[in-house]
């Protein structure tokens, strides 16, 4: 699949832009998958903490949407095509599949925390890849994404961290 689709006056070298488009599309697949995983948790959670978790998981999905937009649009800014269809996402996402058979708040907190942490780790690798690849702006974008995901991970994981 060719990565450069549009001519641009952006002065970043074409080889750099090519590598960044591939990197951005990889993390785009992950974050789209992650957003749906948060919705899956939002829809299916049950138990005594229902309302708090139901609302929190929706907030996670909403905040991920903003990050998703940043990632997708940078791929296009660099001359590429954002690969955001469900067919591509299901082939390319590196996140483990979200379990369909869980119900309790505890299980959804654990499953979503683990998905957020996996994406957070991949994003931190992407910061380094973009820095070494010569694109400070893509590195900065991923730094922002990683900071946002760390915050979401805290908000979800806090439900399982109290010492009782
Ligand atoms: Fe809803």
Whether the CB-CB separation of 36 and 97 falls below 8 Å is answered with no
pLDDT in tens, 91-126: 999 999 999 999 999 999 999 999 999 999 999 999
pLDDT at residue 123, as a whole number: 98
Separation of CA 55 and ligand 1 centre (Å): 8
Residue of 19, 108, 129, 4 lying closest to 57 (CA atoms): 108
Element (H, E) at 51: helix 50-77
Whether the CB-CB separation of 82 and 72 falls below 8 Å is answered with yes
Separation of CA 57 and ligand 1 centre (Å): 9
Mapped onto helix, strand or coil, the DSSP state of residue 93 is coil
Specify the length of the chain in residues.
164
pLDDT at residue 47, as a whole number: 96
pLDDT at residue 104, as a whole number: 97
pLDDT at 4 over 90: no
Under DSSP, the state recorded for 99 is P
Q: How confident is the model at residue 1 (pLDDT cuts 50, 70, 90)?
A: low
Separation of CA 10 and ligand 1 centre (Å): 40
Separation of CA 19 and ligand 1 centre (Å): 37
Separation of CA 158 and ligand 1 centre (Å): 22
Separation of CA 62 and ligand 1 centre (Å): 11
pLDDT at 46 over 70: yes
- Cα 22 from Cα 81, distance rounded (Å): 10
Q: Return the number of other C-beta atoms located less than 10 Å from residue 143's C-beta.
A: 16
Separation of CA 99 and ligand 1 centre (Å): 19
- Cα 127 from Cα 52, distance rounded (Å): 33
pLDDT at 56 over 90: yes
Separation of CA 37 and ligand 1 centre (Å): 13
The token duo for 58 is 């929706």
pLDDT in tens, 150-161: 999 999 999 988
Element (H, E) at 69: helix 50-77
Q: How confident is the model at residue 162 (pLDDT cuts 50, 70, 90)?
A: confident
Separation of CA 39 and ligand 1 centre (Å): 8
């Amino acid at each position: 699949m060719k990565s450069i689709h549009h001519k641009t006056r952006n002065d970043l070298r074409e080889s750099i832009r090519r590598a960044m488009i591939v990197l951005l599309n990889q993390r785009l697949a992950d974050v789209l998958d992650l957003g749906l995983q948060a919705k899956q948790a939002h829809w299916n959670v049950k138990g005594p903490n229902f309302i708090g978790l139901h609302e929190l998981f929706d907030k996670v999905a909403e905040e991920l949407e903003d990050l998703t937009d940043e990632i997708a649009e940078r791929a296009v800014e660099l001359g590429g095509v954002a690969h955001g269809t469900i067919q591509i996402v299901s082939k390319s996402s590196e996140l483990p599949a979200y379990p369909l058979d869980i119900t309790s708040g505890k299980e959804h907190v654990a499953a979503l925390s683990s998905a957020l942490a996996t994406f957070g780790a991949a994003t931190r690798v992407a910061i380094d890849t973009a820095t070494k690849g010569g694109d400070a702006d893509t590195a900065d974008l991923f730094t922002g994404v990683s900071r946002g995901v760390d915050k979401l991970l805290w908000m979800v994981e806090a439900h399982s961290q109290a010492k009782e």
